[in-house]
Amino acid sequence: MSEPVNVADYFELAAKKVDPQVWCYFEGGSGDEVSLRANAGAYSRWRLRPRMLVDVSSISLETTLLGTPVSMPLGIAPFAMQRLLDPHGELATAGAAAASGVLMCVSTITSSSHSELAEASGAGPRWRIPCGCSICINRCKRGSRKVCFQSVTPKCFWR
């Protein structure tokens, strides 16, 4: 494969690059992987319809996501333990999200602290949801600018 052109190509390249003992964690989903299959099915139903002969001299992808201005209608989904893949882990992802002007959803099982992630994201877009567990409540009391986005899981799922 010379250059990846779709998600399947990137998936194949990642599987070749990452240690198999680490890859098996990132390849799957939690529990019975019902959500993983549902998400893959939902994305396969979307179709992009290119438009021809349309004025594109002035276009903008800017919008709001969860009431927060972002550069494009994309966000970074949470995935845990990113330092297993890269020594900078979530810090690099937070920096990339900020540089791109998009939101990053932080996993409840992150390999960096939320304050480190807030620092790495600089002045990037931020959004926060109410916290529902004791660890998150303590972090929320420190101020919303410390947390980019929190995903709170009321129940732990074993992988």
Are residues 27 and 68 located together in one domain of the fold? Answer: no
- Is the confidence at residue 82, as pLDDT, over 80? yes
56 in a structural domain: no
Query: What pairing do the DSSP bridges indicate for beta strands 103-104 and 63-65?
Result: unpaired
Q: Which amino acid is at 125?
A: P
Query: How far apart are alpha carbons 40 and 20 in whole angstroms?
Result: 22
Q: Are 30 and 159 in contact (CB under 8 A)?
A: yes
The domain boundary, picked from 48, 70, 87, lies at 48
- Give the rounded percent of residues in the chain with a pLDDT score beyond 90: 30
Structural domain contains residue 55: no
Evaluate whether residue 53 is within a structural domain: no
The tally of domains found in the chain comes to: 2
For 51, other C-beta atoms within 10 Å of its C-beta total 6
pTM equals 0.71
* Whether residue 98 is found in the same domain as residue 41: no
Domain presence at residue 136: yes
Question: Do 104 and 159 belong together in one domain?
Answer: yes
153 HSE (CA, 13 A, CB side): 14
* For residues 94-120, average pLDDT: 87
As given in the structure block, the two tokens for residue 99 are 């540089």
Q: Flag whether pLDDT at 7 surpasses 80.
A: yes
128, part of any domain: yes
151 or 123: which leads in pLDDT: 123
Domain boundaries, position 3: 1-48
pLDDT at 156: 46
Q: Are residues 42 and 79 in the same domain?
A: no
